[in-house]
Amino acid sequence: MIYRSKAPLRIGLAGGGTDVSPYSDEFGGAILNATLSLNAYASIEPMQEGGIVLEALDRKEKQGFEWKSELPINGTLDLLKGVYNRIQKDYGITQKNFKLSTYVDAPAGSGLGTSSTLVVAILGAFVEMLKLPLGDYDIAHYAYEIERNDLQLAGGKQDQYAATFGGVNFMEFFGDRVIVNPLRIRQEYINELENNLLLYFTATSRESATIIKEQQKNVTQKNESSIEAMHQLKEQAKMMKEVLLRGKLNEIGHILDFGFEQKRKMAHNISNEAIENIYEAAKKSGATGGKISGAGGGGFMIFYCPGNTRYQVMETLNNFGGVIKPYQFTQNGLTTWISQ
């Protein structure tokens, strides 16, 4: 018997960064995001013997331990260990011999919320195995606590909730309080958005923690320019919600462009020369706007290409050494099941 789970990765369409404390605590944040047909997977397979085996199949990392109530956090497979440690502490795990395997459809540091989504998926596998009475909000908040408090990883709150709930959501953040508002968008609008929104991997990954910590410092030290940029990004999320619901899709590129202009002001290294060159080339080829996914600095970018401009933009982007990633928008969030 194998306990399995999967959780979707996401793209942030607007409001990125306003879910990060202390901004969200002091001013409240708002984000609009959507989940994709790219996932993080987790499987727990009980064994007769062998202790605890942890394996990240995509990263080709594997460690084995004799059974113990707490595994060492030392920079290797820490997300897997962090979830195990917290579940063991709060609920107790009687299964003393098992293998926890994970896989993610995008590399770490790519800006699609991979770390948080993986934590949600691992939690889902343990919830399935232990039959824990946790709802969607419980799981998302639990994942946030494990990452931000237990493992002391810098970041915001949106990724855990996107992975757990799935779909297109307008999220509001008020300190520890999070409200997920699912958006009922007509399927024809979703189809057109999929057609026009290119997902492009720059073939680079980045360490988001440095960027996020600077963003947090700017709020703490009352950097007016940075804080005003975050205010504008929060308004951008409201603008994006309006055009999606009303089907005014050709305004999306301009809203993305406005947001990218604001995001650059939040912290250094959000953009760089390589990203700027890609962005300008895409716009010259027909894209009306775009953004870096996640904290910035590298990873995935998205571009809105109205009409049939996507084909010329794709041809242009091929000159920069990255990869166009096929995807679809998805409605389902965390899913768990048992394989007999």
Long-range contacts of 105-108 (CB under 8 A, 24+ apart): 105/9, 105/38, 105/39, 105/40, 106/9, 106/38, 106/201, 106/300, 106/325, 107/58, 107/205, 108/59, 108/205
Instruction: Please identify which of the residues 58, 138, 159, 257 carries the catalytic annotation.
Output: 159
Containing 278, the helix (H) or strand (E) segment is: helix 273-284
25 given a catalytic annotation: no
Residue 50 three-state SS: coil
- Whole-number Å distance between alpha carbons of 15 and 218: 17
3-state helix, strand, coil in the chain (%, to 5): 40, 25, 35
Cα 160 to chain centroid, rounded:
7
Amino acid at 250: N
Residues taking part in catalysis: 159
